[in-house]
Amino acid sequence: MAKLLEGKIIAERIKEGLKKEIGGLPRKPVLASVMAGDNPGAEAYVRSQQKTSAALGVEYLFHKLDKDINEAKLIELIQGLNADKAVNGVILQLPLPAHIDYKNICRFVDPEKDVEGMHPANMGRLICGKAKVLPCTAAAVMELLKSIDVDLYGREVVVVGHSGIVGKPLALLLLDKLSTVTVCHIGTNVAGMLEEHIRAADILVVAVGKERFINGELIKDGAIVIDVGINRVDGKIVGDVEFETAEKRAAYITPVPGGVGPLTVTMLMRNLVEIAKQKK
Ligand code: NAP
């Protein structure tokens, strides 16, 4: 039976350290958060950011915009936050309304205030192995692996999902550790190859956003399973992996909730503190 990889517990330890670092800064770090329209997932993430900010001594400035906001107005707000010397970090809550192109908008956030590490300049630094801040969810997965002291060198790591916020940056971080990284996506599935890759994974990370997407019977004995997915089913939060069967085969598995999620918001705060320290 797998051991639980509880991000919640690791997050508490990291937050203790961050609280001390924040106490040593000349003033409270300020995180500006921009959300357009309504989305239950984004709202839950905002609540978690607000709670964590309050606990750590971070000032959280929330800008809630109408779902019909146009790109020009959104860019104007972002540029105002960039120019505001009191603001240390800017986060754009996803998803943005469908008529707004995140890939275009994220480049308007000042790279020095890009608390999510999503600006093309920061992505470029990541590719060069010179990142100042890491994309939060990818960093959260790496922290989970670090917590069990797993040697990533040469291990078969399979990442299912190739989004810009999770799969792609995570693949780069794992490559830096000389893991053998396979990134699967819809094309892998259509080609009928997904099962084969999952069966071969020493470490499996899933970020798809479909409940029970991964059949637990496919998990290799003794694998490490990190389930990034967040799905709402009958008022409950579940991941992408069929937990009950997967936990019988894996050595470690993340619970959902309580796995990756609490660490993602902690990584966001860690990025903010790094940015605030550089300013100091
Ligand atoms: P996304 O942008 O929608 O990406 C989903 C990925 O899954 C895409 O790469 C997609 O491939 C792939 N995919 C979809 N259907 C597939 C299939 N049938 N077979 C193989 N691959 C398939 O989502 P995301 O933003 O990365 O988020 C993924 C999940 O993680 C969501 O549940 C989200 O809520 C959760 N999440 C959790 C945290 C956390 O802190 N715990 C943070 C971020 C996201 P194509 O693009 O090729 O279709």
Residue 24 C-alpha to ligand 1 middle, in angstroms?
Answer: 38
Q: Which residues contact 221 (CB under 8 A, 6 or more apart)?
A: 249
Q: Which one, of 55, 66, 23, 53, lies nearest residue 268 by Cα?
A: 53
29 lines ligand 1 (CB under 6 A): no
Render pLDDT for 128-139 as a digit per residue (tens, 0 to 9): 999 999 999 999
Residue 256 C-alpha to ligand 1 middle, in angstroms?
Answer: 15
pLDDT band at 161 (very low <50, low <70, confident <90, very high): very high
Asked whether residue 29 carries a pLDDT value surpassing 80, the answer given is yes
What single-letter DSSP state applies at residue 275?
A: H
Residue 94 C-alpha to ligand 1 middle, in angstroms?
Answer: 13
Counting from 1 in the atom list of ligand 1, the atom nearest the Cα of 265 is 40
Half-sphere exposure of 175 (CA within 13 A, CB side): 12
Nearest-angstrom CA–CA distance, 46 and 52 = 10
Alpha helices, DSSP H, located in 177-241: 186-190, 194-200
CA distances from 180 to 80, 163, 268, 272 (A): 43, 19, 27, 31
Q: Which one, of 10, 47, 1, 7, lies nearest residue 254 by Cα?
A: 7
Percent with pLDDT over 70 in the chain: 100
Instruction: Check residues 280 and 158 and name the one with the higher pLDDT.
Output: 158
- Residues 214-233: what's their mean pLDDT? 97
pLDDT at 280: 60
pLDDT at 279: 74
Counting from 1 in the atom list of ligand 1, the atom nearest the Cα of 140 is 40
- Orientation angle between helical segments 7-23 and 260-279, nearest 10 degrees: 20
186 lines ligand 1 (CB under 6 A): yes
- DSSP-derived 3-state class of residue 134: coil
264 lines ligand 1 (CB under 6 A): yes
pLDDT at 276: 97
- Orientation angle between helical segments 136-147 and 7-23, nearest 10 degrees: 110
Asked whether residue 230 carries a pLDDT value surpassing 70, the answer given is yes
What single-letter DSSP state applies at residue 96?
A: P
271 lines ligand 1 (CB under 6 A): no
Render pLDDT for 162-210 as a digit per residue (tens, 0 to 9): 999 999 999 999 999 999 999 999 999 999 999 999 999 999 999 999 9
- DSSP-derived 3-state class of residue 257: coil
Asked if 67 and 36 touch (Cβ cutoff 8 Å), the reply is yes
Counting from 1 in the atom list of ligand 1, the atom nearest the Cα of 240 is 32
Q: Which one, of 127, 112, 132, 210, lies nearest residue 164 by Cα?
A: 127
Asked whether residue 1 carries a pLDDT value surpassing 90, the answer given is yes
Q: Whose CA is nearest to atom 26 of ligand 1?
A: 163
191 lines ligand 1 (CB under 6 A): no
Nearest-angstrom CA–CA distance, 185 and 7 = 25
Residue 163 C-alpha to ligand 1 middle, in angstroms?
Answer: 6
Asked if 258 and 246 touch (Cβ cutoff 8 Å), the reply is no
Q: Whose CA is nearest to atom 43 of ligand 1?
A: 137
Render pLDDT for 79-96 as a digit per residue (tens, 0 to 9): 999 999 999 999 999 999
- DSSP-derived 3-state class of residue 226: strand
Counting from 1 in the atom list of ligand 1, the atom nearest the Cα of 187 is 47
Residue 160 C-alpha to ligand 1 middle, in angstroms?
Answer: 8
165 lines ligand 1 (CB under 6 A): yes
Nearest-angstrom CA–CA distance, 256 and 279 = 36
Q: Residue 161 is inside which H or E element, if any?
A: none
208 lines ligand 1 (CB under 6 A): yes
The residue whose two tokens read 């890939």 is 103
Residue 184 C-alpha to ligand 1 middle, in angstroms?
Answer: 11
